[in-house]
Amino acid sequence: MDIEESELGKSILNDIVKNAEIARDEQVPICQDTGFSVFFVRMGQDLRLVGGDFNDAFNEGVRQGYAEGYLRKSIVSDPLERKNTGDNTPCIINLEIVPGDKLEIQCAPKGGGSENMSEVRMLKPSDGVEGLKDFVVERVEKSGGNPCPPVIVGVGVGGTFDKCAQLAKKALLREVGSTHPSSYYAELEKELLQLVNKTGVGPQGLGGRVTALAVHIEAHPCHIASFPVAVNMQCHAARHKSIVL
Amino acid sequence: MNSNKIRIETPLTDDLVKELKIGTEVLINGTIYTGRDAAHKRMTDALAKGEKLPFDPKGQLIYYAGPTPPKPGKVIGSAGPTTSYRMNKYAPAMYDAGLKGAIGKGEMSAEVAGKLKEHTGVYFLAIGGAGALISRSITAAEVIAYEDLGPEAVRKLTVNDFPAIVVMDCYGGNLFREGIEKYKVA
């Protein structure tokens, strides 16, 4: 709020805070887009699940949660036919097998408006870090007011075409304001946030200093020929919840 | 925060729209209609076939929105705007049919800007992601068409001081362009 210079921008940021307070007090969704249900699941390899169906269990949870919570059902069964499934299923599960005997579930409902402004680009190794910076800034600039700025920018670097996109989404799970464990990436995140906030996009794309609240990066080894970079946009309604069973 | 908000009533007249220049903050009162992607496809298909829309668009505002279901005893759930550019393809036909304006978030196309000039129309921004705050200004809601579309059905809303900002006006003014230009650091 202190760094926003635009009067209209300040007023919008104020309303966003007020909205969060009303949502908390009245237990009504902060935004009507209650998202695609995305889960990140870390399953301990010593754990054995007996009976039932792993995927069905998640879908049943979504079904019950979206009905009982009066959340919006935003999923169509086929991208071309476009018939609403009526219960927000199916969900998307990213499963990772890890040592131990715990089951850790992170739920991150993802809004469509910000998702639509995301992109994967296969850069060349010669593009280097400057190429990455140009791409991230360009994506934010082109998105303008569409993803409901101020946004959180998730950046995936490396891996393959698909891995990279998943990394960008995973980057959004990190607490806003947290720093990357590697000092190199922590510095790069800081620099990217400054660059993004120089675009002038501002709150809701009407001009201002606060375009993004954070830039989070996740990196992964990649092929000698490749330099994939993915940008996953997240609006200011960044919701997640985790549980360990 | 801003005390100089203008209170306006639907349906909008040409004289009123001519006063609504970019940057003006308004409080909308009266009836507005919701419609987003799937409903717009059906409505513009209907217009192309020479059929009528589910409501008389003359002087009216359409709100690009798909609310969450109301909790018991409530009129509506969370009801913020959806991203408007997805309606770029459908909006021109709606303006040609008599629509006066729309409420959404994000910029709309040059073609839509041209229609605002041609028909003395206006495009308002409601704050994206402020669905809980906005729902407080909605006093009645009723599905009037395409119920099978669920959240995408056309709803008739009664609004009382619904907060919005004029972001594209009938003179070609565009607050996204002007605002970003002003704060961009070269």
Q: What pLDDT tens digit does each residue of chain A (245 aa) get? A: 778 999 999 999 999 999 999 999 999 999 999 999 999 999 999 999 999 999 999 999 999 999 999 999 999 999 999 999 999 999 999 999 999 999 999 999 999 999 999 999 999 999 999 999 999 999 999 999 999 999 999 999 999 999 999 999 999 999 998 999 999 999 999 999 999 999 999 999 999 999 999 999 999 999 999 999 999 999 988 888 888 88
Specify whether the CB–CB gap between B102 and B84 falls below 8 A. Answer: yes
CB burial of A27-60 (b: ≥16 within 10 Å; e: otherwise) equals ebbbbbbbbbbbbbbbbbeeeeeeeeeeeeebbe
Verify whether residue B119 is a known catalytic residue. no
Contacts of B167 in chain A (CB under 8 A): 206
Q: List beta partners, residue A17.
A: none
Helical H runs in B49-136? 91-96, 110-118, 131-135
Q: What mean pLDDT is reported for chain B?
A: 96
Test the B interface: residue of A26, A28, A83 with most B CBs within 10 Å: A28
The predicted pLDDT at position B1 comes to 42
The three-class DSSP label of residue B88 is coil
Using CA coordinates, name the residue in chain B closest to A143. B106
The three-class DSSP label of residue A191 is helix
Contacts of B80 in chain A (CB under 8 A): 31-33
Q: What percent of chain B has pLDDT over 90?
A: 97
Please judge whether B183 and A208 are an interchain contact, meaning their C-beta atoms are less than 8 angstroms apart.
yes
Query: Could you give the CA distance from residue B54 to residue B99 in angstroms, rounded to a whole number?
Result: 13
Which residue among A28, A74, A144 sits closest to B78, beta carbon to beta carbon? A28
Other CB atoms within a 10 A radius of the CB of residue A63 amount to 20
pLDDT tens digits, one per residue of B101-113: 999 999 999 999 9
Using CA coordinates, name the residue in chain B closest to A70. B69
Which residue among A11, A198, A208 sits closest to B1, beta carbon to beta carbon? A11
Query: Could you give the CA distance from residue B103 to residue B32 in angstroms, rounded to a whole number?
Result: 9
Peptide bond into B151 cis (omega under 30): no
In chain A, beta strands by DSSP E? 38-44, 92-98, 103-107, 119-123, 151-158, 212-220, 227-234, 241-244
Using CA coordinates, name the residue in chain B closest to A67. B69
Closest by CA position to A214, among listed A240, A230, A191:
A191
What distance lies between CA B29 and its chain's CA centroid? 13
Which residue among A30, A207, A236 sits closest to B132, beta carbon to beta carbon? A30
Average pLDDT (B128-134) is 95
Closest by CA position to B134, among listed B157, B102, B108:
B157
Query: Could you give the CA distance from residue A137 to residue A70 in angstroms, rounded to a whole number?
Result: 37
Query: Could you give the CA distance from residue A30 to residue A69 in angstroms, rounded to a whole number?
Result: 13
Cα–Cα separations (whole angstroms), residue A185 to A55, A126, A191: 35, 19, 10
Model confidence at B115, in pLDDT bands (50, 70, 90)? Answer: very high
Residue corresponding to tokens 């791409």 = A135
Cα end-to-end span (Å), chain A: 38
Which candidate in B10, B26, B34, B40 is catalytic? B40
What residues contact residue A49 under an 8 Å CB cut-off, 6+ apart? none
CA dihedral A29, A31, A33, A37 (to 10 degrees): -60
Please judge whether A205 and B68 are an interchain contact, meaning their C-beta atoms are less than 8 angstroms apart.
no
Residue corresponding to tokens 């709150």 = A203
The predicted pLDDT at position A76 comes to 96
Contacts of B185 in chain A (CB under 8 A): 198, 200
